[in-house]
Amino acid sequence: MTMPQVPDDATAESYWEPIYLERATPAEAVPSNSDLLAAEVAGLQPGRALDLGCAEGGDVIWLAQQGWDVLGVDVSSTALAKGAEHAEVAGVSDRTRWEQHDLSATFPDGEFDLVSAQFLHTPVAGDSQRTTILRQAMRAVAPGGRLMVMSHTGWPTWMTESPHEVDFATPEELLASVGLPREGWTVVRNERVPRDFPGPEGQPGTRDDAVLHVRRDEAV
């Protein structure tokens, strides 16, 4: 996806909506899910899931296919409409819902057995907004549920010039952003994962990702 420059007066919605309007993704082309999320979800009992910054719904659809009832949230109404189309084609529209939110301003109601934030990067929102969003995400986790946050820690090695500013976080910074209480939670995984990441012209490269997976204790 080509990322445009950020105007000084840009909001999350004014920035992302034109990007999805210009993307010509056919309804039959269900976006691929995050393989990091798939590895963390493996073996869990499906329940209610919330996917933050769901874009065109790749993870929403994949989770629904695994038996989860999923609410997908994004700031772009066009991305959400495309996600609903993808879910219809994939045969999981009965397990998916979609809500538009600028997560720095509003957040979906309810508690969830899984709250997922996959590569929630934006050149519009900085560290303070990410912290606000992730702390709200943690509060949305039901007893016994999980919060899973995956994030790039930097640009790919083949990229010689940054196309725009993004606040990348280390695993330690992600954990600090969540503001995990001293009691009632367990850190299942919090680490940096090096990955192969070839460039658009096939040039070799790598990119490190941060994986944070925390579990809320069951209610006593």
Tokens 């899910």 appear where?
Answer: 33
Is 216 in contact with 185 (CB distance < 8 Å)?
A: yes
Confidence of residue 15 (pLDDT cuts 50, 70, 90): low
**Dist CA 9 CA 32 (whole Å):** 32
Helices (H), 42-124: 58-65, 77-90
Please tell me the pTM assigned to this model: 0.86
Q: Is the pLDDT of residue 1 over 90?
A: no
Q: Are 21 and 78 in contact (CB under 8 A)?
A: yes
User: What average pLDDT does the segment 203-210 reach?
Assistant: 90
Residue 26: what pLDDT? 58
Token pair for 106: 């509003």
| Residue range 138-159: mean pLDDT, rounded | 92
Please report the pLDDT score of residue 193 as a whole number.
93
Q: Is the pLDDT of residue 18 over 90?
A: no
What's the pLDDT at 164? 67
CA–CA gap between residue 50 and residue 114 (Å, rounded): 6
Which band of pLDDT confidence, cut at 50, 70 and 90, is reported for residue 35?
confident
Q: Name the CATH topology of 50-216.
A: Rossmann fold (3.40.50)
Per-residue pLDDT of 82-134, as tens digits, reads 999 999 999 999 999 999 998 888 999 999 999 999 988 766 655 557 888 89
